[in-house]
Amino acid sequence: LIIFLKIYLFIISSHSIQSLGNKR
């Protein structure tokens, strides 16, 4: 279960970074 959470967090982080970069 922890692994799944880690993957989910990684996806969110990647999406957040991509969105921020695109906004800039």
- pLDDT, one tens digit per residue, over 1-24 is 899 999 999 999 988 777 777 766
The secondary structure of residue 7, as a DSSP letter, is H
Q: What pLDDT sits at residue 24? A: 64
Question: C-alpha angle 7/13/15, rounded to 5°?
Answer: 105
Tokens of 11: 């996806």
Q: What pLDDT sits at residue 16? A: 79
Q: What pLDDT sits at residue 8? A: 94
Does pTM top 0.75 for this prediction? Answer: no
Q: What pLDDT sits at residue 1? A: 81
